[in-house]
């Protein structure tokens, strides 16, 4: 308002020039950022539904596996969508781990970490899917993570 009055030559100096309001331009927080139990159940159930073969194979794999990987690893969707075949390795103690690596893409804290592969995912055929896949990315690129959350609170 003072800037408008200044342009009309009613005042010489805007007394609020350079003043910033703390917290301005921050989105309103209307709920917790986590999904509710019901939303999680709907998302995971949706990932199990048969998908049209007209949908690209990597996109079907993304919609089918990534929600489960996120649920069992607590990793971010973008971290899961950038997984490569070579990121699934057998640990020296015999169990399978998923390597989350900064060179594959954006990783929280830019820190390499290994997450044990859950036996439920193995039982559902995750390692069979990985084995059948060609070297390189298993899923659509990390930009798909935004489209993996169709539930709008």
The mean pLDDT value for 45-62 works out to 92
Which residue carries 């805007």 as its tokens? 14
User: What pLDDT score does 145 carry?
Assistant: 43
Fold of 39-46+55-153: hpI Integrase; Chain A (1.10.443)
Query: Which class for 126: exposed (0-12), middle (13-18), buried (19 or more C-beta within 10 A)?
Result: buried
Q: Which SS3 state, helix, strand or coil, does residue 10 take?
A: coil
User: What pLDDT score does 144 carry?
Assistant: 44
User: What pLDDT score does 142 carry?
Assistant: 47
The mean pLDDT value for 37-52 works out to 93
C-alpha pair distances (Å), 27 with each of 23, 30, 31, 34, 126: 9, 9, 12, 16, 38
Helix or strand (DSSP H, E) at 113: strand 113-116
Confidence of residue 1 (pLDDT cuts 50, 70, 90): confident
Structure tokens at 144: 């798909």
The mean pLDDT value for 92-105 works out to 90
| Cβ-based neighbour number of residue 133 at 10 Å | 17
Confidence of residue 101 (pLDDT cuts 50, 70, 90): confident
Give 60's Cβ-side CA count (13 Å radius): 10
% of the chain at pLDDT higher than 70: 90
Please write the tens of the pLDDT for every residue from 63-89. 999 999 999 998 888 899 999 999 999
Give 81's Cβ-side CA count (13 Å radius): 19
User: What pLDDT score does 143 carry?
Assistant: 45
Of 110, 112, 81, the residue nearest 97 (C-alpha): 112
Domain ranges of the chain: 39-46+55-153
Whole-prediction pTM = 0.69
Please write the tens of the pLDDT for every residue from 120-148. 999 999 999 999 999 999 997 644 444 44
User: What pLDDT score does 108 carry?
Assistant: 81
């Amino acid at each position: 308002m003072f800037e408008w009055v200044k342009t009309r030559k009613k005042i010489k100096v805007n007394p609020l020039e350079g003043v910033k309001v703390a917290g301005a331009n921050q989105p309103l927080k209307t709920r917790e950022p986590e999904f509710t139990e019901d939303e999680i159940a709907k998302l995971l159930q949706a990932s199990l539904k048969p998908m049209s073969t007209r949908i690209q194979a990597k996109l079907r794999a993304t919609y089918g596996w990534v929600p489960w990987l996120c649920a069992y690893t607590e990793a971010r969707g973008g971290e899961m969508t950038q997984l490569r075949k070579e990121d699934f390795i057998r640990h020296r103690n015999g169990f399978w781990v998923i390597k989350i690596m900064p060179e594959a893409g954006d990783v929280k804290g830019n820190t390499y970490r290994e997450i044990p592969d859950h036996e439920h995912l193995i039982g559902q055929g995750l390692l069979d899917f990985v084995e059948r896949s060609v070297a390189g990315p298993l899923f659509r690129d990390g930009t798909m993570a935004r489209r993996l959350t169709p539930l709008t609170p």
